[in-house]
Structure formats: structure tokens, C-alpha cells
Chains A and B, each alone.
Chain A
Amino acid sequence: MSEDVIKGKVLKHDTQTRTMHWIHLLAFLILGITGIGFYWDIAGIANIFGGPANSSLVHRWTGVVFTVAPILYILLNFDRFSRFVDTITSFSKDDFAWLKTMGGYVPFIKVEEVPPQEKYNAGQKILGILIIIGCLLIILTGFPMWLWRDVVAPATLALCYNIHFWTAIIMILLVLGHFFLAAIHPKSRVEFSSMMLDGYIDAQITAEHNAKWFAELQKTE
């Protein structure tokens, strides 16, 4: 059965996007666990990876995967990535209106009608921007901590560690929030199988949550 004949569903994330997301997620988990382990000197975590030095080695090489995976994805899917960046960096009146009501996700904010959204809602756009910036900061500070630790000034090295640590903490919190909304929250947990399994999402839900994008899809049909 080909992808475009599944009735009542639309393809939101293609195979390469889902593969990259899976790789990046697994790398992020390993990086987060090992990083927390040696930053707070938790022997239990370090020992899972064969002690502190080996845990650091796993962290560094996973960092390479964390860097190379999105680079490869961007090179192989440059148009798609450009559109993604275009989408997440364009904020319309509807996006600001969505942010005012938090898209109806927050129980104590009363919402009569959620403004129509593109492929990604305003919250996802902000998350996307923050994740890209966070990844860049983590990568740009991580490699000097590893490869140039002998040559950079002590204060610069300390600065890299601080930026790396605080960015990682913010990223972990963002990813936890992302996981809650995408996998647990009853209003949006259908997104989970779309990114993590087959890439498809219910057309009816898309028509409600991403009305502008759904309208575009209908036009192109």
C-alpha cells in the first residue's frame, strides 16, 4: 500500500525526517544521561557506561552523531529544511493570537476558537527555533571542550562549560515539555505516532489543528 492512498490521513513527516528525529532523540538521551552523570558526579550513571572516562568518551562520540545527523539531513533535504526554517520563523497575526490563548492547551485560559495554524503551530515554531539555537550552542561549545581543551584560555574553557551546561539544562526542559505535549497531552498526543511511527496523522485533526496547512494540501490535490 503506497503512502498517498491511506484514506482519512495525511503524511506529515517523511521517512528521512522521522529517521533523523529518531537518531537525534536517541543521541540526545544518551548525551543528557551521560552529561548529568559526570556533571553531578553520579557514579551509578558513569558506571553504566564503563566508568567516568568511558562515559565521557561515549558522550563525545554521541555528540558527533548529534552533530552529523542533522547536517546530513539538511544536505540531503535542503529544500524541505529551508521550508521548515521559513515556516518556523514566520509569525502571522494568527500565531500571536494562538500564543495569547496558548492554543487552548492551558486549562485555566478559556478559549472559544483557536486561530488557524500552519504545519506547525506558534508553540512548535518557538520550540523549533529554540532547539536549533540550543543545538548550535551545544555543538559550538562542545567541540572546543573536547578538541581544543589544551589551547583555549582557562576562562574561555570555563565559559564553554557554563554555556554547554545551561543550554543542556534548558534543552532537557524543552524536550520534556515537547514530549508531554506530543505524547501525553490528550489534545495533541496523536502527533506522537506521526513522528515516531508511520509519519501519518488524522486528516480531521489536521484540519482542526493546522487549518492553513490543510487548506494548502487540499489546494495542491
Chain B
Amino acid sequence: MSTLLSDGVIHVSDKCKACDHCTSICPTHAIKGRLGEKHHIEVRKCINCGQCLINCPFGAIDDVSMVDERIIKALKDPSKFVVVQEAPAVRVALGEEFGQAPGTNVKHKMYAALRRLGFDKVYDTEFTADLTITEEGTELICRVFNDLGVPGYEAFGPLPQFTSCCPAWVKYAEDKYPQVLPHISTAKSPQQMFGAVSKTYLAEKLGIDPASIYSVSVMPCTAKKYECDRPEFIASGFKDVDAVMTTRELAQMIKAAGIDFMSLEDEQADRFIGASTGAATIFGATGGVMEAALRTAYEVLSGETLDKVDFKAVRGFKPVREATVEIPVKALGGKVLPVNICIVTGTKYVDDVIEDVLAGRSQYHFIEVMNCPGGCVNGGGQPIRRDTY
């Protein structure tokens, strides 16, 4: 078993000043230690989200790095064909490391920098975020039909359906609420879908042996490191994703390579699996997966094209938000189906929602859970902000 799976991704270093700020941040109370006493993380409870890391006043919490041992090694290995994907939230945060305002989209410079770092193909996770939307949206429809008793859909799981993109949330559910697992979408996260696609479909289309493909991802999230090492993600017979680096680590690699990031000419992602829709882009914000999946579900169920693609009811920053979207279902003769949705941002707020589901009280059909406040844009792998307010 990977040491990362047994020892966890996040560790408190000797620099800990025992200020105890992190214990209030941790959604699973995995950080132990009283004020004045050096803290440590209980691996069994930790969901690797890295929120303690980005909120530590003294930079005393670290995440395990795969850069030297895996990524740079692969880039130097001529027998490896190294492909890279970047999550939607990375492009709007990477610029902060190079003096840009938070939210500045630097994706075209990011593609250029990744090529300078030696990656053979630079793709984009947005491609598989679109696949996730299709998978999760279709699965939701099938679960709704199963719930309505439509014949042929009996094999699909129960309602409500929870999203499965956030590895911190998935681990939390596995650790604390295993009974809720049948409710979680069976779709892989965009990162893992990309890994699987890169070693199956891409390998076939490019005529490359999957064994020589090395799949790297750039993520705003430390839990993605844990996710990539999970033993079940081996669609091609090889690891779907071989290594993960965070936005911070990519910035460090760019700086270490002496690349003048802001002077780079804009470049595009490689074609083929580098294309995406706007629905994929909003994945990085809370409510984004829900909104994107609703667009798919609406069009498939109603058979109509949406005039306005925005579902603004799902946006915002309240930890728990709910809304009802009315969808006319073509297969039921145009009968309007009210789809009750819920968005949870911050795993610490999900317990009540889960308790209702397990008790049979929940009125929701679809529930999005993202561990980090505000979604992946505020992930544990993002640049560390030093605002004093």
C-alpha cells in the first residue's frame, strides 16, 4: 500500500507554534493538541483537504510532495510520455504566485509554462469535467426514473444522488457514513476520468503504449494526491493518474526552472482532449458541478435546449443552499418534475443533510458536496493568502 494512503498527505511540522488555530478549521476534528502543545494529525480521521495547511499562521503544516520523486523523475525519463492536466480552479489562482490579482485567468500562460517544463502533451481537466457532467447528469436521470418506477432503471441507486468529484468529501463519507455510499454518484472525479482516458482512449488514438504514458495532474487540492494513489483507479491496468502537484507546487517548479511566467506568449492546450465547454469551467466554484449537471439533466429530460444556461439559485456562499428546479419530462408526457437540490460547501456542514437522507426525511434529489469553503478555488493546494482580515 502507498505510504501516502497509510500515513496521509498532510503533516504538522516541528515549526508548529501550538497556536491551536487549525483545530477550529479542520472539518473532521482530526487535529489533536491543546493550546500550547504541539499539534499532530490523526491520519485515520484526516480527509487530506489541506484547509489547515493554507490557514496555518506559521506555515507549519506541509503536504507530501510528488514533484521530485515522481514528476521530475518522469520528465527526465526518455521512455516516458508525460501528459498533464490542470483543474479549472488552478488557472485563476496560479497568477497570484506571480503578482497577479486573485482570479486572474492565466491559463494560456500556464499551458506555455507546462510545455517549457518538458511535458509532452498539455491537456486540460475541463475536458473530463464535461465528461463528469454527462456521467453525473445521466446517472441522476436514471436514479430519478428508478425512483419513479420507470421500468428498465431498477439497477440504479437511490435518491438523492450526491456528487463524487471531491475526494475529501468522499473519504469523509467512507469514514463516517458508509451507509450513504450507495447515494454517491458512481462517476469518477474529473481528475481520475482524465487519467483513465489518457491511458486508454488517448493511448489508442496516439498509438502509444499505455505503460509508457505518465499522467500528471495539477490540482488546487491536496486530497487529489490521496485520490490518485487509491488502488481502485486502474482502468487501463496502470494507475489512472501517476502523480499530482498542487497550484503552489507548479508555481515553485516554474520559478525553479527560471521561467519568466508573465512574459510567456499565450498558448493553447493540445487538441483532442484539450477542448471543453463553459460548464466545465464553473466546476471549481461551489454549486458549479450542480449547475453544470442540471443543464445536462434539463436538456436530456425535457428534450429542449436551454435559452439561459445559468441556474443562479445554486450560486452563492452560504454553507448550505437549496433550490427547486422545475423540469418538464418529455418521457412522462411533459409532466413537470420539481427537482430539489442542495449544495453544501464545507464538509463540517454536511452531517445534518446526511442524517436526513439516512432517516428517509430528505426531500432532495441531488446534493453537491464540496469540502472547501467556496469550492475548489479555495482548495488546500492553492496559493496561501496572507490577508489580515
- The interface of chain A, by Cβ under 8 A from chain B, is 38-39, 41, 51-57, 59-60, 145-146, 149-150, 153-159, 161
Contacts and interface: CB of A to CB of B under 8 A. Distances in A.
Given A150-B21, A155-B386, A155-B388, A52 B36 contact: yes
Given A52-B38, A149-B19, A154 B56 contact: yes
B12 to A, nearest CB: 14
B158 interface: no
Main DSSP-derived SS at the A contact region:
helix
Q: Interface size for chain B: under 10, 10 to 19, 20 to 34, or 35 or more residues?
A: 20 to 34
Interface in B22-77: 24, 33-38, 55-58
Given A56-B37, A59-B36, A157 B19 contact: yes
A56 to B, nearest CB: 2
Nearest to B36: A56
Given A150-B21, A159-B388, A161-B17, A55 B36 contact: yes
A154 B57 contact: yes
20 contacts: A39-B17, A41-B38, A52-B36, A53-B35, A54-B36, A56-B35, A56-B36, A149-B20, A150-B24, A153-B389, A154-B55, A154-B56, A155-B57, A155-B387, A156-B388, A157-B21, A157-B57, A158-B58, A159-B388, A161-B58
A146 B18 CA distance: 11
A53 B36 contact: yes
A41 B34 CA distance: 15
A54 to B, nearest CB: 8
A153 B387 contact: yes
Contacts of A39: 17
A157 B55 CA distance: 10
**Which of B19, B33, B36, B385 has the most C-beta atoms of chain A within 10 angstroms of its own C-beta?**
B36
A149 B36 contact: no
Nearest to B24: A150
A51 to B, nearest CB: 7
